[in-house]
């Protein structure tokens, strides 16, 4: 991704894409002192833009990374990056991290904090799965407890188990992995939240140790507007068998129906497809 045309917003400057670099002794590279966002713009408008900017600042705060940028500054940076690259329909990746400082230890209170915003075109996150239903592996890695990590931060360090889970899933021909949590409950995929249906009702895990995605919240609102009952609760793996439909939600994934999780099969049915279409209409603003 580094060898291409375009510009990246870095600490207030627009830097040619190939030159948007950090030093190898960057604290974030060694100790994961980095937080980021994933957003999508549709027709020039980033969906829930301010909520994403606020979440970036909340993640930074949870990680002891002081931001000299406000929500308004981040909004401006994102708009500048999109305009400079001439993109209206794109993925937006703000990232804030600790740079290199006086020493190379774990503590980083004196290390400078940086912000960058990159934007690029990114199609369907799960490719064909969007229409055919994604196939998920079940990860051996568990989402850790809130006492172990700041589980609601979108922090780089939390993605190491996601990457390992996704690699294992892809090696088995799956699009993604479903992770259980430290207690054994169904949690989420490596970059998306999960929903199930049973007898006309929707069930989704309580986000008490993983990201309560903005797409997840949007989909719950859409379902409630349609008088569909949404039950947020702890879901045991042995319940997977009893669910009829399943889908994933995330900014990159949007709403993607799931056809299989391990040996369990789900229908790419009217609820999953309906909510995917509804979300599409909402983000494109032509409801
Ligand atoms: N969980 C994880 C681990 C994620 O990376 C994402 C994507 N940001 C989500 C859930 C979904 O969050 P959102 O809907 O806010 O994109």
CB distance 94 to ligand 1 below 6 Å? no
* pLDDT for residue 282: 96
| 1 CB-contact burial (10 Å; exposed 0-12 / middle 13-18 / buried 19+) | exposed
CATH number for the domain formed by residue range(s) 7-120 = 3.30.470.10
Report CA(195)–ligand 1 centroid distance (Å).
Answer: 13
pLDDT of residue 123: 87
Q: Is the CB of 215 under 6 A from ligand 1?
A: yes
Q: Which of 21, 154, 166, 198 is catalytic?
A: 154
Could you check whether 7-120 and 129-283 share the same CATH topology?
no
16 CA → ligand 1 middle, Å = 28
Domain locations in the chain as residue ranges: 7-120, 129-283
For the Cβ of 211 lying below 6 angstroms from any atom of ligand 1, the answer is yes
Cα–ligand 1 centroid distance for 34 (angstroms): 16
Three-state DSSP state, 258 = strand
Ligand 1 centroid to residue 81 C-alpha, Å: 22
216 Cβ inside 6 Å of ligand 1? yes
Q: Topology of domain 129-283, per CATH?
A: D-amino Acid Aminotransferase; Chain A, domain 2 (3.20.10)
Whole-number pLDDT of residue 286? 56
User: Can you give the pLDDT at residue 29?
Assistant: 98
Q: Rg for the chain (alpha carbons), in Å?
A: 19
Mutate to test the pocket of ligand 1, among 156, 192, 222, 283 (most ligand atoms within 8 A of CB): 192
pLDDT score recorded for residue 258:
98
pLDDT for 130 equals 78
- The reported pLDDT for the residue numbered 287 is 46
- Considering Cα of 20, then 213, then 277, then 286, what sign does the dihedral take? negative
Query: 38 CB under 6 A from ligand 1?
Result: yes
What pLDDT sits at residue 219?
Answer: 98
Predicted local confidence at residue 127, as pLDDT? 84
Going residue by residue through the chain (287 aa), what tens digit of pLDDT does each one get? 999 999 999 999 999 999 999 999 999 999 999 999 999 999 999 999 999 999 999 999 999 999 999 999 999 999 999 999 999 999 999 999 999 999 899 999 999 999 999 999 998 888 888 788 999 999 999 999 999 999 999 999 999 999 999 999 999 999 999 999 999 999 999 999 999 999 999 999 999 999 999 999 999 999 999 999 999 999 999 999 999 999 999 999 999 999 999 999 999 999 999 999 999 999 998 54
Nearest CA among 124, 128, 122, 133 for reference residue 273 = 133
| 248 touches 211 (CB < 8 A) | no
Whether ligand 1 lies within 6 angstroms of the CB of 188 is answered as: yes
Closest residue to atom 12 of ligand 1, CA basis: 213
- Catalytic status, residue 154: yes
Q: What is the pTM of this model?
A: 0.97
């Amino acid at each position: 991704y580094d060898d291409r045309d375009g510009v990246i917003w870095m600490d207030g400057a627009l830097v040619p894409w190939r030159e948007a670099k950090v030093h190898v002794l960057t604290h974030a590279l060694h100790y994961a002192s980095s937080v980021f966002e994933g957003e999508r713009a549709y027709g020039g408008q980033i969906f829930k833009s301010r909520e994403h900017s606020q979440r970036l600042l909340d993640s930074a705060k949870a990680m002891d990374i002081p931001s000299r940028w406000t929500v308004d500054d981040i909004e401006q940076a994102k708009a500048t990056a999109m305009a400079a690259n001439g993109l209206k329909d794109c993925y937006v990746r703000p990232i804030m991290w600790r740079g290199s400082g006086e020493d190379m230890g774990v503590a980083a209170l004196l290390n400078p904090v940086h912000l960058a915003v990159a934007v690029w075109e990114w199609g369907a996150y799960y490719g064909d799965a969007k229409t055919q239903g994604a196939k998920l592996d079940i990860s051996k890695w568990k989402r850790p407890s809130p006492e172990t990590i700041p589980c609601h931060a979108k922090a780089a360090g939390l993605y190491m188990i996601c990457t390992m889970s996704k690699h294992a899933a892809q090696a088995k021909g799956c699009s993604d992995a479903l992770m259980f949590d430290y207690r054994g409950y169904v949690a989420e995929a490596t970059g998306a939240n999960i929903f199930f249906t049973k007898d006309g009702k929707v069930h989704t895990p309580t986000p008490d140790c993983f990201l309560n995605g903005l797409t997840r919240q949007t989909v719950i609102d859409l379902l409630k507007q349609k008088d569909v009952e949404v039950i947020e609760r702890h879901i045991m793996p042995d319940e997977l068998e009893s669910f009829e439909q399943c889908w994933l939600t995330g900014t990159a994934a949007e709403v993607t129906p799931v056809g299989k999780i391990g040996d369990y099969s789900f229908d790419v049915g009217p609820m999953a497809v309906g909510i995917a279409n509804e979300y599409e209409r909402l983000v494109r603003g032509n409801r």
